[in-house]
Structure 1
Amino acid sequence: MKKIYIIHENDEWTQPLIEALEELGAPYESWFIHEGHIDLTETPPNGVFYNRMSASSHSRGHRYAPELTSTILAWLEEHERLVLNGSHALDLEINKARQYTALQKAGIRTPQTMVTVGKEQMIEGAHQMEKPFITKHNRAGKGLGVQLFQSVEALESYVNSNEFEEPIDGITLLQQYVESPDSTITRCEFIDGKFFYAVKVDTSEGFELCPADACSIEDQFCVTTENTREKFQIIENFADPIIHKYEKFLKDNGIDFAGIEFIQNNNDEIFTYDVNTNTNYNSDAELKVGQYGMKQIAKVLNNYLQKLD
């Protein structure tokens, strides 16, 4: 029996999609990828395979989930199975440096970024950056490792302290700091390669910006009596020429589902800084406008399934 197979490592993030598939009556199977084994001489089952592996899997104790997923995707693709967000999408998900080179190739502006390995090289590289600048992990997710520095001396003090957080792949990025006049970024969501909606995200409390409801609670991004500013707000009727560039970028890189984030500076210049191929949605923001990402993804997956031989 052909099914929709969901490849992931986070049950909380996947549950809204499962509920949407059950609402449609679509057959599915959850492949939780953490540890396991795979016989490469076997033939994979028939179906639609949706890869939702996350770059932040190591932060949940699933250190080698992306590596195992990479092998599984190669196996599926070798057998010509329909894989959405396949091998190349995963490669970009877990490597921000490759994201930036791919974005630049597509004519999409990114912040100045320097790739560093080793503390001494990080400090040396910082001398070549405009100040202030930020650090971020090459393999991250949720804004892990993002910190703002006003000077090389501040970075040096940090990397030589016990507070320094070693990136999981050893690569730290130094990046131009782009200041938003209202402390927000914009996240554009794409489903089946097409623009779905844009979300304005409040960054005033930090950069760990996973929009999933579980993350919102965990990272205290919910609205409280002390902070009445909404963290996630869908922008109705959003339109900008950047959308067409993003759609072409996704098509050229084999990405079917993604959230792409950009920031605008005081001169309204757009800098694109992140591509999330494991995209999540905020239910409170969606409820206000009646648009539901996971329900739309479920419909797309089911449509692909129905077209399979």
Structure 2
Amino acid sequence: MSADAQTAGSRRSSETGFAARTGGGYSGPMPDITIVYEHPAWFLPLFTGLEARGISFDAVHADGLVFDPADTRPPAPVVFNRIAMSSFLRAPEHPIFFAQALMAQWQAVGARVVNGADVLAIDANKARQLALIAGLGLAIPATRVVHRAADLVAAAATLRFPVVVKANIGGSGAGIVRYDSADELAAAVADGNAPDSIDRVLMVQEYVPVRSGAITRIETLGGKYLYAIDVDGGGGFDLCPADVCLTAPGKAAVSVVQAHPAPELIAAAERIAVAAGMDVGGVEVMIDDRDGTPRFYDVNALSNFVADPVTVIGFDPHDRLIDWLADRIVESKA
């Protein structure tokens, strides 16, 4: 990374309260791990835990970040990508696609990148997620993928209504709208009111009536089961269970309880995580009330973990995440 673009690592971040850099380059001793993030509050438990463990880290905000494609120096032995797909909701000049190039660069020059470029590419593509899941022989909601809103009505012709139209890149329920009839969908398309996606890829999908009203989010770490929660959004689509999501202004009430998925669902989620190359993240599944089929529908490589985890699931998953990251740091230095 170009030294002339750097900001001193000792500068305190007004967003996180931790030492942070917001430009390219690095100076001084190389940290054990560099964390690239966008949301100003989501990763405070991670930063606090790393600091308590004495693990040296750089918390690098994506805004202002510059990299030189010819630079062969990684910023740290381990890099942790924490760029959220919902970042486009907070800034039109979001870092989603930039981060894919950046993580690929750092991996190419020797860093162990956690949830790297290949994972980002899947995280940022719901159509690819569904194809990956279906390729493993697992059930998904019936779905059609288009790149023009004008094609949504024809694409939905072989589906059962109601349907939902989804943005290929979403987050916190953004870009999801339910339509109860073909006429309702056609009117939305004609009026220019159908959802859009920042990559111009859309999906129309059968609306799945969820048994008991709750979806199950199965969190994984290193391709293995970490914990699971049932999330009930009262019929809404914003099911983010983290602290900063649950307290967001205007956020609809969300019920979150510990889940105990059947062994076959846990095994399926682990297979999905491994196939996606995902180091840490969640896999979401819902039980179709029409026939009892578990339908996997989302892979989320940015997990904020559940709010009040000790109360909900009996432990703080950040502790296990930091243990896992510490092992990766040791491996990277071997």
- TM-score, normalised with respect to structure 2: 0.84
2:275 is the alignment partner of 1:245? no
* 1:260 aligned partner: 283
* 1:226 aligned partner: none
2-side partners of 1:170 and 1:132: how far apart?
23
1-side partners of 2:64 and 2:153: how far apart?
36
Structure 2 counterpart of 1:181, from 203, 211, 215: 211
Partner AA of 1:57 in structure 2 = S
List aligned pairs for 1:287-306, cutoff 5 A. 287-306=311-330
Cα distance 1:170–1:222, how it changes in 2: closer, same or farther (>3 A)? closer
4+ residue stretches of structure 1 with deviation over 3 A?
160-165, 219-223
2:144 is the alignment partner of 1:144? no
Contact 1:232–1:285 (Cα < 8 Å) also in 2? no
Structure 2 counterpart of 1:168, from 194, 198, 218: 198
* 2:41 aligned partner: 12
* 2:138 aligned partner: 108
Cα deviations across residues 89-132 of structure 1 (Å, max 9, x unaligned)? 10011000011111111222111111122222112212222111
Partner AA of 1:214 in structure 2 = V
Q: Aligned residue pairs: how many? A: 302
Cα shift at 1:49:
0.9
Of the structure 1 ranges 4-13 and 27-36, higher mean CA displacement relative to structure 2 is found in 27-36
1-side partners of 2:252 and 2:272: how far apart?
32
Cα deviations across residues 179-208 of structure 1 (Å, max 9, x unaligned)? 013211000000122101110000214111
Contact 1:2–1:46 (Cα < 8 Å) also in 2? yes
2:60 is the alignment partner of 1:31? yes
* 1:279 aligned partner: 303
2-side partners of 1:37 and 1:195: how far apart?
36
Cα shift at 1:40:
1.7
Cα distance 1:284–1:45, how it changes in 2: closer, same or farther (>3 A)? closer
2-side partners of 1:272 and 1:63: how far apart?
31
Cα distance 1:304–1:272, how it changes in 2: closer, same or farther (>3 A)? same
* 1:54 aligned partner: 84
Cα distance 1:186–1:301, how it changes in 2: closer, same or farther (>3 A)? same
1-side partners of 2:142 and 2:93: how far apart?
29
2-side partners of 1:268 and 1:219: how far apart?
35
Contact 2:139–2:293 (Cα < 8 Å) also in 1? no
Of the structure 1 ranges 284-293 and 113-122, higher mean CA displacement relative to structure 2 is found in 284-293
Q: Identity of counterpart residues, as a percentage?
A: 27
Cα distance 1:82–1:130, how it changes in 2: closer, same or farther (>3 A)? same
Of the structure 1 ranges 161-170 and 102-111, higher mean CA displacement relative to structure 2 is found in 161-170
2:293 is the alignment partner of 1:269? yes
Contact 2:273–2:283 (Cα < 8 Å) also in 1? no
Cα deviations across residues 113-154 of structure 1 (Å, max 9, x unaligned)? 111222221122122221111111100111211121111111
2-side partners of 1:238 and 1:281: how far apart?
17
* Corresponding residue SS for 1:283: coil
Cα shift at 1:69:
0.7
2-side partners of 1:64 and 1:35: how far apart?
11
* Corresponding residue SS for 1:308: helix
2:70 is the alignment partner of 1:41? yes
* 1:232 aligned partner: 256
Higher relative contact order (CA 8 A, sep 6+): 1
Cα distance 1:268–1:162, how it changes in 2: closer, same or farther (>3 A)? same
2-side partners of 1:258 and 1:138: how far apart?
18
* 1:3 aligned partner: 32
Cα shift at 1:162:
6.3
1-side partners of 2:192 and 2:272: how far apart?
40
* 1:203 aligned partner: 233
Cα shift at 1:220:
4.9
Contact 2:165–2:178 (Cα < 8 Å) also in 1? yes
* Corresponding residue SS for 2:244: helix
Gaps of 5+ in 1: 224-229
Cα shift at 1:71:
1.2
1-side partners of 2:31 and 2:119: how far apart?
24
